[in-house]
Structure 1
Amino acid sequence: MSIPSGALQPALVLDFDGTVCIGSGPLWVYAQAVCELLPPERASTLHGALEDYLAGRSPHSSYGDGYALVADLGSRFLSPECSGACYRRSREWLGDHPDEVAPPEGLASLLDELDGRVRRLLVTNSPQPSAEQVLDHLGLGSRFDDVLGSARKPSGFPPILTTLQGRCPGWACMSVGDFWSNDIEPALAQGWMTGWLNPVGLDPRPSHLSAQTFQQMRDGLLEWAENPERFSTGHALPEVDAMPLPPRTDND
């Protein structure tokens, strides 16, 4: 990571899958790789649950993201080596099929507007080379100031946040992602501002910004970048009763 720990420029940290990279293809490849190693009945249950999740149907909509669902219903019954191999298979597929994903509307122009004003950072559990390959294909590679892969969120996220924050106050740092337990909860714990993308309408959880699409959140992110301190005073963290999530995953 090239960002110095003493940096004072505001930091915007974006997740990769489901935030910058939109499309369910890699997720289905991960699920299929897991299903191939499961008994047929359990594989069928996993497949149906993932379909329900992506359609926003209960009872599976409480999962933090589709990767967490696959991990909880499938890969947790496998050895760590097999589970990791299944996830890497989805990363390899994504690198070979970058046309199967797309950036969200409004992201490229936002990153352009923030150039020179905010550190534009991407932190992902995906291996850095494959993430950078996809970013380049999507025309986003040059729009990020730094990319950090294999982050092992959520457990590995706090020390990364500390390094990126440097001497900045928490309100000058913003974490945006679609998996509340991975992208939002660790940032809140360190006093950061947060933007939760909630595309399938999960039950409310605390976040300074929350929207179903990136385009809906875009104006809020620009407001934060314009004056982070003023944003923090005008966007008090809502108090909500969060539904417990299944076990968190270091896959993203």
Structure 2
Amino acid sequence: MPRPVLVLDLDGTVCLGDTPVLLYAERVAAFTAAPETLLEATRAFLGRRMPESIPKTLTGAQDGYEAVKILGLSAGVTEEQLSAAYLSSRAAMSEQPGDVHAPEGLVDLLAGIDAHRVVLTNSPGAGLDRVLAHLGVAGVIDELVSDALKPSRMTAHLDGFLRVAGAAGTPEWLMSVGDIWRNDLAPAVERGCVAAYVDVFDRRQGPAHVRAGSFVDLYPAVADWSSDPASFIAAHPLKESVQC
């Protein structure tokens, strides 16, 4: 019998708080002629306050990181500068966690399920152990995969997890939880895995088996799935806008 595999995104799923995005925004803003303008727009996006002065392109941003990228590019920041700013901000986050925190009750959820628990993130690996320790989840995570190159490498990661779990022919034994549909969920849906969509900004970008505005609201679904993946996927058919 295979063991269920729970694949968790980091930012926006396991790791909450505005500090990581603001650290990124500060570094991107330093490359612009009007840094405070970019920072004010970022804060407005994070606070879900969208005054008329904010570029309309921000309304489609999937998260704070994409919002900062949109603002930076519109201010003349290059892709190379964006990349450097991101790497710098991630290094700083492990030393300056600020308001970073895990969703309430996550440790209890992960401790209470029988599954191989993976954090899969595009973030560079340096300092991530300290971040997980700060979040309080280091003891309930079995595997950490950094520099994941989602979405281009997501299917390969899923195949690897399923193969190791002995579930290559039963992909419903893997659940992917994340807040960016194209990165975390689209490849899982295509592979036949269970997709749990943390749709914080109510984007409804694509189908999922379960969807909610916060990870906390998906906890019952995660627990039910881990106890009987086959029955869970049968009871939760793929839907465009399913809401827990």
So what's the TM-score if we normalise by structure 1? 0.83
Query: SS where residue 154 of structure 1 aligns?
Result: coil
Find the counterpart in structure 2 of residue 96 from structure 1. Answer: 95
Gaps of at least 5 residues in structure 1 are 1-6, 241-252
CA RMSD of aligned residues (A): 2.2
Whether the aligned pair in 2 keeps the contact of 1:105 and 1:214 (CA below 8 Å) is no
- Distance change in 2, residues 1:73/1:98 (3 Å): closer
Whether the aligned pair in 2 keeps the contact of 1:62 and 1:203 (CA below 8 Å) is no
Q: CA deviation at 1:51?
A: 3.3
Find the counterpart in structure 1 of residue 53 from structure 2. Answer: none
Find the counterpart in structure 2 of residue 248 from structure 1. Answer: none
- Aligned AA (2:150): K
Find the counterpart in structure 2 of residue 25 from structure 1. Answer: 19
Query: SS where residue 74 of structure 1 aligns?
Result: helix
Identity among equivalent pairs (%): 33
Query: SS where residue 159 of structure 1 aligns?
Result: helix
Q: CA deviation at 1:90?
A: 1.4
Further displaced range: 228-237 or 162-171: 162-171
Paired with 1:69 and 1:99, the residues of 2 have a C-alpha distance of 20
Find the counterpart in structure 2 of residue 109 from structure 1. Answer: 108
Q: CA deviation at 1:217?
A: 0.7
- Distance change in 2, residues 1:98/1:47 (3 Å): closer
Whether the aligned pair in 2 keeps the contact of 1:187 and 1:193 (CA below 8 Å) is yes
- Count of equivalent residues: 230
So what's the TM-score if we normalise by structure 2? 0.86
Whether the aligned pair in 1 keeps the contact of 2:17 and 2:99 (CA below 8 Å) is yes
1:145-180 per-residue CA deviation (whole Å, 9 max, x = no partner) reads 100011121222221111112141111100101111
- Aligned AA (1:170): P
Q: Is 2:154 the partner of 1:160? A: no
Find the counterpart in structure 2 of residue 120 from structure 1. Answer: 117
- Distance change in 2, residues 1:224/1:107 (3 Å): same
Q: How does 1:66-85 map onto structure 2 within 5 Å? A: 66-75=64-73, 77-85=76-84
Find the counterpart in structure 2 of residue 247 from structure 1. Answer: none
1:117-145 per-residue CA deviation (whole Å, 9 max, x = no partner) reads 21000001112232211111222112111
Gaps of at least 5 residues in structure 2 are 51-55
- Distance change in 2, residues 1:133/1:209 (3 Å): same
Query: SS where residue 144 of structure 2 aligns?
Result: strand
1:42-62 per-residue CA deviation (whole Å, 9 max, x = no partner) reads x72x44543343233565342
Paired with 1:38 and 1:110, the residues of 2 have a C-alpha distance of 43
- Aligned AA (1:72): I
Find the counterpart in structure 2 of residue 210 from structure 1. Answer: 211
Segments of 4+ moved more than 6 angstroms: none
Find the counterpart in structure 2 of residue 63 from structure 1. Answer: 61
Whether the aligned pair in 2 keeps the contact of 1:61 and 1:202 (CA below 8 Å) is no
- Distance change in 2, residues 1:56/1:206 (3 Å): farther
1:71-127 per-residue CA deviation (whole Å, 9 max, x = no partner) reads 23315854443222100121122111235211101210011012xx21000001112
Further displaced range: 197-206 or 54-63: 54-63
Q: Is 2:8 the partner of 1:14? A: yes
